[in-house]
Amino acid sequence: MSEPTPPSGPPDPREWAPPSGWSPEQPPAWPAQQAPTPAPGAPGEPGQAPPPGYGQQPPPGYGQAPPPGYGQAPPAGYGQAPPPAYGQPGPTYPGQQAGAAWGQPTAWGPPPTAPKPGIVPLRPLGVGELLDGALSLIRSNPRTVLGLAAVISAVSALIQTAGLWISLRYLETMTPVVGSADEVDIAAELTTLATGSIAQIVPALVAGFLQVLASGLFIVLVGAAVLGRRLDASQTWATLRPRLLRLVGVTLIISVGGLLAVGLMIGSIVALAFAIGPWAALPGVVIGLGGTILLVYAYVKLAVASPALVMEGTGVLASLSRSWVLVRRSWWRVLGILILAAVITSLLTTVVTVPVTLIATLVSGFSESLLPTVFASGVATLVAGIITLPFSAAVTGLLYIDLRMRREALDIELVSAGVHPSEDPLAAYRPQR
């Protein structure tokens, strides 16, 4: 049987039909004069499979216009060197610590410092800054601060020394009244005892008033010193004078209220002792402990009533209410600062009074007169007052300012007051209503 004769040339494309399974949509037939001559074994030769995707539709968008930006310049930084390898030093940015590793946290610079036109920065204060500010009050305006403290302490020491001298002289003239039946002598002795007591009470009251006066004056100086203003004695007195009587009223309410509370507590314990005898020990302890806790709580809550009255110019009851609100949620912190200030004041007083008292004791040992002891007491009161009066008042004033900066953003108002100063040195502390 003879083999079939192979075709002498490529098939005519016009007569060629696609095999089964091929896409019916084929490209148009080639013209006869342009039909390429496939290489041996090329696609399209009889018996060869077409390439993958041959004869299928083109992908979407084929032959359409290029997208916007095609052919434009590349973005800045394209083609630059890649970032350094992980762990290697990278570029330093503003605020970044030099030499920080790429991809690791950087140590940014400290926050901007708060303005400090006066003795403390205008932001919420730490305990150390508050105590340092109290000492800075003396360094910022020593002439006015130490001058006022010296005058007030000298007057207080003189009055207390005179009262002590009179009291001791009357007590020396007293004779024992035990076993005496003479009513005239008893009356005379009682008169002498009452005179000696009055000689002690009156100077104590005057000294208390002078302490209130000193507290108000130094609070005015603190309010001005925070803004960087230095007042003299006349300006300080002119600022405090309209508020002095109200300041005395606040002090009397707190002091008398405390004394009445203590008297009521002691009276209740004594009444229970008379009523139920020894069984009053337990309720007496409860009353004493509970009353003491309530007194301390109320004292701390009213600790900044005087600065509130002086700096804001409010009334007596308004200043008490103001202090109660400001100390809210800061009671323990205020208590700690008050205790720390009291310890420092006591240490300063001890450092001053112990040497003076020791010298007076040695001198009085060689003399029967009471004059060295009385003189030493006056000198100790004078020197201790010059140091402790400004410090304790400044701590209270700065504590009030710190509480307002924490609760009411007073620091913003103080910064604005520094830019636009007022004639009244305490105008910036009045609440905006």
pLDDT one-digit tens code per residue, 163-188: 777 776 666 655 454 444 444 456 55
CB 203 within 8 A of CB 163: yes
The secondary element (H helix, E strand) that includes residue 418 is: helix 410-419
Q: Which domain holds residue 175?
A: 127-242+304-423
Please say if the pLDDT value at position 209 is more than 80.
yes
Give the model's confidence band at 60: pLDDT under 50 very low, under 70 low, under 90 confident, else very high. low
Q: What is the pTM of this model?
A: 0.69
Asked if 107 and 100 touch (Cβ cutoff 8 Å), the reply is yes
SS3 assignment, position 49: coil
Q: How far is CA 11 from CA 6, 17, 23, 35, in A?
A: 11, 10, 20, 11
* pLDDT single digits (tens) 82-127: 555 544 555 544 444 444 444 454 455 556 687 888 899 999 999 9
pLDDT class of 381 with cuts at 50, 70, 90: confident
Question: Residue 320: its pLDDT value, please?
Answer: 95
Please indicate, yes or no, if residue 116 is contained in any of the structural domains. no
In whole numbers, what is the pLDDT of the chain averaged over residues? Answer: 77
N- to C-terminal Cα separation, the chain? 123
At residue 338's C-alpha, the angle toward residues 336 and 339, to 5°, is: 65
What is the structure's pLDDT at 419? 63
Nearest to 390 by CA among 109, 122, 139: 139
> By three-state DSSP, how is residue 248 classified?
helix
Confidence of residue 77 (pLDDT cuts 50, 70, 90): low
107 assigned to some structural domain: no
The residue among 106, 104, 86 whose CA lies nearest residue 96 is 106
> Domain for residue 183, yes or no?
yes
Residue 139 lies in a domain: yes
* Number of domains observed in the structure of the chain: 1
pLDDT beyond 80 at 425: yes
Under 8 Å between Cβ of 239 and 425 = yes
pLDDT at 332: 95
pLDDT given at position 280: 77
Banded pLDDT at 128 (limits 50, 70, 90): very high
Helix axes 142-173, 183-226, angle to 10 degrees: 170
CA distance 230 to 235: 10
Residue 52's CB is within 10 A of a number of other CB atoms, namely 6
Cβ contact 124:402 at 8 Å:
yes
Spatial CB neighbours of 406, under 8 Å, sequence gap ≥ 6: 124, 330
- pLDDT (tens digit, 9 = 90+) per residue, 270-291? 888 888 878 878 888 899 899 9
Q: Is residue 21 part of a domain?
A: no
* Residue 32 in domain: no
Residue 282 pLDDT: 87
Neighbouring-strand partners of residue 89: 101
Measured in whole angstroms, how far is the alpha carbon of residue 399 from the centre of its chain? 9
What are the φ and ψ backbone dihedral angles of 96, each rounded to 5 degrees?
-90, 145
Q: pLDDT at position 129, please?
A: 93
Task: Please give the average per-residue pLDDT across 15-29, as a whole number.
Answer: 57
Q: Is residue 322 part of a domain?
A: yes
- The pLDDT assigned to 183 comes to 47
- In this prediction, residue 279 carries a pLDDT of 83
Q: Is residue 94 part of a domain?
A: no
pLDDT of residue 383: 83
Which residue in this structure is represented by tokens 């020791």?
A: 358
